[in-house]
Amino acid sequence: MVSIGGAVAPPLAATTTVFSSSGTTPFIHARRFNATTGWGTKYANPATLPPGNSLTVAYKPGVVMTASITTPFLAAYPWNDVTGFGARYATLSPAPTGTVVAAGFNATGTAVVGVLSASPWVFAYAWSDVTGFGARYATPDLTGIAGNSNSCSISPDNKAFAFTTSTSPWIYVFPWDDVAGFGARYANPSVLPNAARNNNVAFSPSSSVIIASGTGTPNLSAYAWNSITGFGTAYAAPAEIATSGRISFSADGLAVVSCSSTNPGLQGWQWSDVTGFGTKFTSVNLPVTGGAPTLDGAAVVANDSATPFIQGWPFNSTTGFGTRYSAPTPAGTATAWVASN
């Protein structure tokens, strides 16, 4: 699973580890989490911290990685749910040319992909759980792309890489291959989003839908997707009343959750790949500035810029949000989060 600013959320096991990136030292936190009892023990910090303010955090089985605004931008660690962080992997070289705003692993776990705040926008490196960062993939043809980017995602079938910018057409998708890397960019959707969609982008679990969030009304744009033909028909916009930030599909593909820095902070809808957005769940009136991916059948976790920084709610893709869990202690600032399973 790739969680690069928003993607498919994995099913939450009875007990899991939730990682959160942070804008202040130690720049990454790891805590146990149980879908019944909520937050548990915080793990010890890694011996060698990430290089600075971490904007996102990503996980693949056995490895956790942060993306920071400070060179060398990416910091990766072996992970064990019993012993916690291992020794930090060697620094990647050459480092990306620009500020990394989101990064994660491809669906097969053999590459690290991400986006920069400006040109050349995208990057990718080979990855090995033994040796860490490998050779950098060639940058694709980015002719005509402009604006600032802060989100990206790889489809669960590992065939497409999407990212968004602040300039029309707002959303860009490239074929992805684990050997060759980026392919030639897909054609734009026939009906473009009405406004900027650079807050987040995600694929559905079936890789047959792509959705992007941003400003303007409506705040969400969803399209049918095919890795051969690209964008299909746009789905009708949902009933929504707040700016959409990070978005995610539930693991069963039956719900979509979005967060907002204004009330209602959490919004959610039933979802069908055939008909699109369905019934809107009762919203949570608590603003959250960061992500709120659904962990199907178990919980939603969201981060914020104020205490307690990271929070959780029971969630079900049929009934929606439950009563909020008690806040974790110690809190620690959070800019994004991901779960280990």
Tokens of 138: 């060639």
Q: Is 333 among the domain residues?
A: yes
Q: Is 268 among the domain residues?
A: yes
Tokens of 148: 């600032």
Would the pTM of this model clear 0.85, i.e. be above it? yes
Render pLDDT for 181-190 as a digit per residue (tens, 0 to 9).
Answer: 999 999 999 9
Tokens of 12: 């939450």
Q: Total domain count for the chain?
A: 1
Residue 295 has pLDDT above 70, yes or no: no
Q: Is 222 among the domain residues?
A: yes
CA angle, 341 then 43 then 310, to 5°? 70
Cα end-to-end distance, the chain, whole Å: 9
Q: Is 299 among the domain residues?
A: yes
Q: Are 111 and 103 in contact (CB under 8 A)?
A: no
Render pLDDT for 54-79 as a digit per residue (tens, 0 to 9).
Answer: 888 999 999 999 998 888 999 999 99
Render pLDDT for 30-56 as a digit per residue (tens, 0 to 9).
Answer: 999 888 888 899 999 999 999 988 888
Tokens of 47: 């011996």
In whole angstroms, give the CA distance from residue 23 to residue 263.
24
Tokens of 268: 């959610």
Range of the domain at 28: 15-339
Q: Is 238 among the domain residues?
A: yes
CB-side neighbour CA atoms (13 Å) of 284: 26
Render pLDDT for 14-33 as a digit per residue (tens, 0 to 9).
Answer: 678 888 888 889 999 999 98
Q: Is 10 among the domain residues?
A: no
CA–chain centroid gap for 304, Å, is 15
Indicate which CATH number applies to the domain containing 51.
2.130.10.10
Tokens of 151: 């989100």
Q: Is 42 among the domain residues?
A: yes
Which of the pair, 293 or 33, is modelled with greater confidence?
33
What number is the average pLDDT over the span 291-316?
72
Q: Is 1 among the domain residues?
A: no
Which DSSP string do the residues of 223-247 spell out, in sequence order?
A: EEEETTTEEEEEPPPPP--S---SE
Render pLDDT for 79-118 as a digit per residue (tens, 0 to 9).
Answer: 999 999 999 999 998 888 888 889 999 999 999 999 998 7
